Each structure stands twice: as C-alpha cells, then as structure tokens.
Amino acid sequence: AAAVLGEIRRRVAQGHPEVVLTGINLGCYRDRSAGFDLPRLVRAAGSIPGLERLRLSSIEVNHLSPSLLAAMRETPTVARHLHVPLQSGDDRVLRAMGRRYTAATYLRRAAQASGFNLTTDAIVGFPAEDDAAFAATLAIVEQAGITKVHVFPYSPRPGTETAGEDPVPPASKKERSARLRALSDEACRRRWRDKVGREDVVLLDRPGRGYGDDYTPWLVDAPVGAIVRARATGVTDEGILGVAA
C-alpha cells in the first residue's frame, strides 16, 4: 500500500489531476502486512491532497462488495463510474466460460451500484451461445442500465477448452455485435440527454474534449489538463455539449 500511495503522491506532485487504479484482477488487491484491501486503498488514495479524481479501471462483479461501494460513495474524489465485465447474460454460457457468477448475481450487484455509470465487456458468438443465450445478454444489458458495451466477437485461442470450437457463423457474430452496440448506444444517449441543463466537473484530456465525473464524454472549450465545471447544453454523437458554468 505504501508503494501505491507513494506513487500517487509523486504523480500528483508532477501535476497529474487524475489517477486510475488498475490491475489484472483489481478486486483481489491485498496488503496483508499493512492491513489494506481495495476499499481501504480507495479511501486512502482518494484522500491524498491535490488529487482531483480517482478512478477504477475495471472490477469483477464478485468483487463489487458493499464495502467497496461504500468506500467509493464516501470518497468525494472517486469517479461515479464502474466498468464491470459481464461477458454473457446466459448462465449456461457463463459456466462454459468458467465464470464464477450468474446473470442474477450480476443484476443484483449492479442494482447495488445505483448512481454509478455502468459499462461492461461482452463476448458474442461463444461456442455455447445460441439465439436464446444472446437474447439473455441483451436483456441483462438493458436491465442493468449499462451505457457502454465493449463487444468482442469470439475467436478460438490455442490452449483453451474451446480452442477447436467455433460454431457460430461470422455473419451471426457481426449481427449480434451490432445489436448489442446499438442497445448500449441508445442507453448511453439517454443518459447524455438526461444531463442537459445540469452541471458536472469535466477533466479535459484532449483539446476541447474530456470526461465528467461518471466518465461520460464532454465537448467543452477548455485547455488540456483543465478541470472545469460545465453545464450541459445539448448532445452530439460524440458526447455532451457543454459550456463553462
């Protein structure tokens, strides 16, 4: 924990306003000698003077615990965004993938994260995925209120249990990918439209572009690196139009 917190302090001193906690499986983080788990690290990191925003890169649904959500809600610098991989909304497919959760578990944990902007990953065309299984994935994405799906068409990988299997035709994978993206795009735009007339704090990471507190994209006339309070005036295909408040 000392090394992580020290690195964050160093980055803040260099002028970095935002830090992202990342790891192969972030929820497994432990520093047993110092008595740190991820929730405690979030609280400590988010309280470092000068840090404007702390984000989590990705968290598995089984690690989306009440203690982590409490730490995120109670630490003002933590972004109200969670990227929680789903992969599939069908239990049979999840079992075939070796995933240790069910669709019902995902929905229950997602409901506990109310107020956070949820994004996810999904694989389409996995060997166990038929039309009904894909329909279940669409339903879970909609029910969970997910606003962005990173869609990955399945392809065989050497050394995996399904290395010799690829029964879903490429055309079906392409069609399912398009439907899943369209569903999440509409949810995303609804969220953007709901923000019109409201204000948010936007961190500019490119000229005229940045992200709000919940990782929604904004288009604001401000320099790179600036943190501005902006009011949403409209939406485009690229994000929320804003003006400095």
- The pLDDT > 70 percentage for the chain reads 100
Tens of pLDDT, residue by residue over 67-92, are 999 999 999 999 999 999 999 999 99
Q: Are 190 and 200 within one domain?
A: no
In CATH, what number is assigned to the domain containing residue 230?
2.40.50.140
Across the strands, what pairs with 121? 150
At residue 237 the predicted structure's pLDDT band, cuts being 50, 70 and 90, is very high
Q: What is the pLDDT of residue 194?
A: 97
Q: What is the mean pLDDT of residues 102-112?
A: 98
Last residue of a domain, one of 46, 63, 79: 79
- Convert the pLDDT of each residue in 148-164 to its tens digit: 999 999 999 998 889 88
Residue identified by tokens 């240790």 is: 100
Above 90 in pLDDT, residue 124? Answer: yes
Quick one: 68 and 93 in the same domain? no
**Token pair in block for residue 153:** 């068409």
CB contact set of 147 (below 8 Å; sequence gap of 6+): 117, 118, 119, 184, 187, 188, 191, 216
Q: What is the mean pLDDT of residues 39-48?
A: 99
Residues 200, 189, single domain; the answer is no
CATH code for the domain of 37: 3.30.750.210
Tell me: do 183 and 109 sit in the same domain: yes
Q: Are residues 28 and 128 in the same domain?
A: no
pTM, 2 dp:
0.95
Instruction: Give the pLDDT mean for 11-34.
Output: 97
**SS3 state at 146:** coil
Mean pLDDT on 138-146: 97
Single residue among 194, 209, 231 that ends a domain in this structure: 194
Quick one: pLDDT at residue 161?
A: 86
pLDDT band at residue 245 under the 50/70/90 scheme: confident
pLDDT averaged over every residue in the chain = 97
Dihedral of the alpha carbons of 14, 18, 46, 218, in degrees to the nearest 10: 150
| Residues 166, 202 within the same domain | no
| Structure confidence at residue 21 as a pLDDT band (50, 70, 90) | very high
- What's the pLDDT at 163? 85
User: Tens digit of pLDDT for each residue in 222-233?
Assistant: 999 999 999 999
In terms of domains, do 47 and 128 share one? Answer: no
Domain that holds residue 63: 1-79
